[in-house]
């Protein structure tokens, strides 16, 4: 009998670490480059540190997306299908866990999808799957 490799908790951890940071980078980049003021070098150097602000807001959606993606990974052999499913799950969970239901889903959903996509690419080697 073949033994399973990877762990749901490892996938959730990767999504929590990578997804929150990627989401924070996107939000801070939109805030910097969306303003009418010119962006200086000091603003660009502040971007990696300011992206840490994504952790308090994105930890719950990232953990839920990672747990769901890790749980369904056992039944998906295709890596491309798993990454696409994780991306769609990140989009949906980001909208569902947003604190105030409003028109902001058009902004939050794509951020969650991009963060889930990057997290899924990083988590490909730790996702649960059956060894050959």
Interacting residues of 65 by C-beta distance below 8 A, sequence separation 6+? 15, 19, 86, 89, 90, 93, 94, 112, 116, 119
- pLDDT tens for the 132 residues of the chain, in order: 454 567 888 899 999 999 999 999 898 888 877 777 777 787 778 788 878 888 888 899 999 999 999 999 888 888 899 999 999 999 999 988 887 766 666 788 899 999 999 999 999 888 877 544
pLDDT at residue 123 in the model: 92
Burial (0-12, 13-18, 19+ Cβ within 10 Å), 78: exposed
Interacting residues of 16 by C-beta distance below 8 A, sequence separation 6+? 59, 62, 63, 66
pLDDT at residue 53 in the model: 84
> What pTM was computed for the model?
0.86
CA–CA distance, 49 with 100 (Å, rounded to integer)? 26
pLDDT at residue 104 in the model: 67
CA–CA distance, 116 with 50 (Å, rounded to integer)? 20
CA–CA distance, 66 with 82 (Å, rounded to integer)? 12
């Amino acid at each position: 009998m073949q033994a399973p490799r990877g762990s749901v908790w490892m996938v959730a951890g990767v999504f929590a670490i990578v997804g929150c940071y990627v989401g924070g980078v996107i939000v801070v980049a939109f805030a910097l480059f969306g303003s009418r003021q010119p962006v200086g070098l000091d603003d660009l150097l502040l971007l990696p540190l300011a992206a840490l602000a994504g952790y308090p807001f994105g930890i719950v959606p990232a953990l839920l997306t990672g747990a769901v993606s890790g749980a369904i990974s056992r039944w998906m052999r295709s890596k491309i299908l798993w990454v696409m499913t994780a991306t769609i799950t990140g989009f949906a969970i980001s909208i569902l866990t947003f604190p105030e239901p409003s028109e902001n889903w058009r902004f939050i959903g794509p951020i969650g999808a991009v963060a889930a996509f990057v997290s899924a690419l990083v988590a490909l080697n730790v996702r649960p799957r059956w060894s050959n």
